[in-house]
Structure 1
Amino acid sequence: MSRFDRYMLSQLMVLFGFFSFVLVSIYWINQAVRLFDRLIGDGQSAFVFLEFTALTLPNVIRLVLPMAVFAASVYVTNRLSNESELVVMQATGFSPWRLARPVAFYGLIVGVLMSLLTHVLVPISMDQMKQRENEISRNITAKLLTEGTFLHPADGITFYIREIAQDGALNDVFLSDRRDAERSLTYTASQAFLINDDGVVKLVMLDGMAQSHERDGNRLFTTKFTDFAYDISALLGTATPDAQHLRHRTTLSMVGQLQETAAATGETLGRVTEELHFRINQAFLCVAAALIGFSTLLLGQFSRFGVWRQIVAALVLLVVVKLVEGIVTDAVRSSADLWPLVYAPTVTGVAMSSVMLAWAGRPRRRRRTEAVA
């Protein structure tokens, strides 16, 4: 690798790190706000919130990497062009294809990072987060044992505890069940306990009253009780024994086992095939995005108005690549034999970059000057 290649590659990697940090921060904060409302609102601790935000980070990085690759490529190319560094290199005999070599290396390096994310880190983190969600859904303490707050653990259910004693007793309990449209139940008790009976969680209420209101006839029935057991297992949530989600499986577990993966996840063979090749293609898309940003700006000449036209053109080309990706995805999901179409977006992006590089390296016509007598 020549000195110019190392210089340009270092500029690209530095700006890529900057844009990645900015974009990841924006996306991550957006995810963190929603997680904060959901977890803290359900009574979870700050540690659980930090754990979930950390588990969402690999997927957030995967989403922003192509945008960061493109942004860094455009920015570095524009800066080198404005400082006439690219002009000097072209004057020494460097063709557009030769100038694009460090950009291709840059795209490949980011593609390796993308492969690590899509094949390993993202599936593992998503699967771990799903397991933690199932554990939290069964966490009685987080769902119900909150003092002085009206909780809604399920639709139509309202639960309130005035105080939790040191011995685990729940003082002054209120429970409203309005899941039945024709009949609503309300329970109040001076004291209650949570009991786990062979996996069935029951709320045992002492010295209380049950009120049943029936809409038919608008009648209210009141019953006082000394002790009463209420099954709340359905409110706490149970583990989901359904099939593992396709995106929670690593690529290594899918290669050569497409039929088994489809049966285990409940997906079609086309959907599994598309997911496998989609992960592989993400790395090549990083190369295409870097080349599109570089080659498009290489066509522009100096202008006082800047290179906004070339930047807009590069964005339009990226939109074209994403449109091709959306079109071929449905086709591959309907027929697994069409899996080569998954790589059509990358081929399209590289082809457009090649055309622009060839156009930038074409012999330019020189204007003829007329001799003035």
Structure 2
Amino acid sequence: MILLARYLLKELLGPLVVWVAFMFLLLFVMQFLVGTEVLLGSAVTLSDVGRLILYLTPHFLVKALPIAFLMAILLGLGRLSEDRELTALQALGISPVQLLLGPVAIGLVLGGLMALLAFTAQPWGLTSVKALVNEVIKKNVAGDVKSGVFYEDLSDLTLYAEHVSRQGGEWTHVLLHDDREPSSPLLVLAQRGRVNMRGSDDALRLVLEEGEVHRANRSTTDYSLLRFEQGEVSVGLGSSMNRKGNRFRSQKEEMSPGELMQAAEEAGKSGGDPRPFWMAIHMRVSNAVAPFSFALLGTPLAIGRKQGGRAWGYLLTLGGYVLFYVLSRVFETLGNQQKLPMLLAAQLPNLLFITVGVVAMWRVSRSGTVR
């Protein structure tokens, strides 16, 4: 039995590593394309890209491990089936149920790893990504403003500097037109200006010195003039600059379990709905259980398929993962709407896949592995 387990682990771990690497690369390319304007800015360095990959790695692993594990089971055990090795094992008295040992063991390890990542490294990484993207956007703005050229990449803002220092950090004779309130636009003229790189919040802050603010009301004849020694114009990165790719995460994924529970408690005290925060915790546990349910379902699909059915097997595997994802979202919505208990809503996709896997294994055991 130990020899069989080692052999199965060898057959599964190789494809698993390959599929995880492939899915990781695919997910990174997709996110990279979303944030191209940010990540290909003039101020982005290789260090920034390296930090981005590091911060996104836990999130990508949580997304990639389940589907990669399913594909590894199909490829590893499917090869044994196609080469008639499963038939030989059955002739030696090894039942299909015993072949579950390797996939289930790997599934439990992957589930533990996913739980660890989802509750610790993933929130840390996504929070760090948010800070990194904001930092890169600020550096890009500071570097992209050129002498004598109107800069219009900020939503509803137009920036002009007569002279920009070589390092791109200081502007001289600055003009800023703020049209975020169309009824009363602002015109700011300043002797000097720069980007405040020290801010850590979700805002781009433009520091202007020795200038004046002109405000006109388009609906009336009112006109205001204000002179200042130093002031800041704040631009929200989450809204005004959302089109520049600052969309690498959802808010709940950034939060640790403690923060989710605190948010649920605060929502309950303020009359809000705490269920989405509790549901987020249950969904992380559900995702960690997914490799185990995939092991129970994927093994009979791999060893029970017909010869030459590899393409059909891949299609079935991908379809199964899509179905699992869709069911997870549907049941999560039902849990948030109080139509199902939260624990049941989160684990119902796993329970369904486990049930189908047990039935499929029972049928394979009765009919044997020969096809």
Report the TM range for the smaller structure's normalisation: 0.7 to 0.9
**1:170 equivalent in structure 2:** 171
Unaligned stretches of 5+ in structure 1? 239-243, 365-373
Structure 1: how far apart are the matches of 2:235 and 2:316? 54
What's the offset of the Cα at 1:103?
A: 1.4
**1:342 equivalent in structure 2:** 346
Tell me the number of residue pairs that the alignment of Structure 1 and Structure 2 aligns.
344
Unaligned stretches of 5+ in structure 2? 200-204, 239-249
What's the offset of the Cα at 1:67?
A: 0.9
**Does the Cα contact within 8 Å between 2:74 and 2:313 map onto a contact in 1?**
no
TM-score of the pair, normalised by structure 1: 0.76
Inter-CA distance 294–188: structure 2 relative to 1 (3 Å threshold): same
Q: Aligned pair 1:322/2:325, yes or no?
A: yes
Structure 2: how far apart are the matches of 1:34 and 1:270? 30
What's the offset of the Cα at 1:69?
A: 0.5
Equivalent residues in 2 for 1:190-205 (5 A)?
191-193=191-193, 202-204=207-209
* 1:134-176 Cα distance to aligned partner (Å, 9 max, x none): 6667x5x653463345433642211133433479763453433
What's the offset of the Cα at 1:363?
A: 5.2
Inter-CA distance 202–14: structure 2 relative to 1 (3 Å threshold): closer
**2:37 equivalent in structure 1:** 37
What's the offset of the Cα at 1:46?
A: 4.5
- Name the structure, 1 or 2, with higher relative contact order (CA <8 Å, separation 6+): 2
- Quick one: which amino acid aligns to residue 38 of structure 2? R
Structure 1: how far apart are the matches of 2:177 and 2:111? 55
Inter-CA distance 57–261: structure 2 relative to 1 (3 Å threshold): farther
**2:360 equivalent in structure 1:** 356
What's the offset of the Cα at 1:115?
A: 1.5
**Does the Cα contact within 8 Å between 1:193 and 1:205 map onto a contact in 2?**
no
Structure 1: how far apart are the matches of 2:183 and 2:152? 20
Bigger Cα Rg: 1
Inter-CA distance 323–265: structure 2 relative to 1 (3 Å threshold): farther
Inter-CA distance 267–83: structure 2 relative to 1 (3 Å threshold): farther
What's the offset of the Cα at 1:63?
A: 1.0
Q: Aligned pair 1:119/2:119, yes or no?
A: yes
Q: Aligned pair 1:107/2:107, yes or no?
A: yes
TM-score of the pair, normalised by structure 2: 0.76
Range that drifts further, 122-131 or 16-25: 122-131
What's the offset of the Cα at 1:85?
A: 1.0
What's the offset of the Cα at 1:215?
A: 6.9
**Does the Cα contact within 8 Å between 1:204 and 1:228 map onto a contact in 2?**
yes
Percent identical: 19
**Does the Cα contact within 8 Å between 1:66 and 1:289 map onto a contact in 2?**
yes
What's the offset of the Cα at 1:202?
A: 4.6
**1:53 equivalent in structure 2:** 53
Range that drifts further, 164-173 or 353-362: 164-173
Inter-CA distance 76–214: structure 2 relative to 1 (3 Å threshold): same
Inter-CA distance 233–345: structure 2 relative to 1 (3 Å threshold): same
**Does the Cα contact within 8 Å between 2:32 and 2:39 map onto a contact in 1?**
no
What's the offset of the Cα at 1:309?
A: 3.5
* 1:103-160 Cα distance to aligned partner (Å, 9 max, x none): 11121122122112111111111223334456667x5x65346334543364221113
